[in-house]
């Protein structure tokens, strides 16, 4: 858990390092510099939301885990590697968001991160001896469906962006109502 916390914290911190406005600008230059940083802020906000949700989900997945095996460790390390990579496609998205290849690279990175999370959750769901007695919501089919939704939407974006262009990234907004609906279904009743 400590390694995961550190990886996600560092990845989120790296996102902000490229946000910059030069010093000693004239008022018009200052306003222009702020306007130029808007795509950076948008890409930053998107990636903070992505990384933050995966960090939260990682903690949720491991909440009921008693021990791990080599497969869980391996999948987790791959996921950490992808999470640490996210600042790179985020920078590409901020600088070259109008390029189809950039959108495909970003979508591929998010889909890969999501696939690692789904794989870890699926392995733990199939291995009750690794968990403390009671199953958690992260071992349910609904949780796996919720997690797989992100993977599918971002993965579908990869080929579609080369047909429709970079505006396909607006398809990612479909995740908002879907995640809200599935998140409510995952909430414990009571």
The residue ranking higher by pLDDT, 179 or 60, is 60
Per-residue pLDDT at 141: 75
pLDDT at 101 exceeding the cut of 70:
yes
Per-residue pLDDT at 134: 67
Per-residue pLDDT at 149: 85
At 78, the pLDDT band (50, 70, 90 cuts) reads very high
Burial 98-128 (b: 16+ CB within 10 A, else e): eebebbbbbbbbbbbbbbbbbbbbbbbbebe
The residue ranking higher by pLDDT, 20 or 76, is 76
The size of the chain, in residues, is: 190
Neighbours of 68 (CB within 10 A): 17
Quote the CA–CA distance of 170 and 60 in Å, as a whole number.
Answer: 28
**What Cα–Cα distance (Å) separates residue 171 from each residue in 95, 139, 156, 161, 164?**
20, 28, 10, 10, 11
């Amino acid at each position: 858990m400590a390694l995961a916390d550190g990886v996600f914290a560092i990845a989120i911190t790296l996102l902000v390092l490229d946000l910059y406005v030069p010093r000693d600008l004239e008022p018009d230059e200052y306003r222009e510099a702020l306007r130029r940083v808007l795509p950076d802020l948008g890409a930053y906000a998107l990636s903070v939301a992505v990384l933050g949700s995966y960090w939260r989900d990682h903690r949720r997945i491991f909440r009921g885990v008693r021990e791990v095996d080599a497969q869980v460790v391996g999948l987790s390390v791959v996921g950490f590697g992808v999470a640490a990579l996210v600042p790179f496609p985020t920078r590409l998205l901020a600088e070259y968001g109008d390029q189809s290849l950039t959108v495909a690279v970003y979508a591929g990175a998010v889909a890969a991160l999501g696939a690692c999370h789904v794989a870890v959750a699926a392995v733990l769901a199939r291995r009750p001896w690794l968990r403390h007695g009671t199953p958690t919501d992260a071992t349910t089919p609904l949780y796996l469906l919720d997690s797989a939704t992100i993977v599918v939407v971002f993965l579908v974006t990869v080929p579609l962006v080369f047909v429709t262009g970079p505006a396909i990234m607006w398809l990612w907004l479909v995740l908002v109502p879907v995640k809200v609906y599935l998140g409510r279904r995952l909430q414990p009743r009571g």
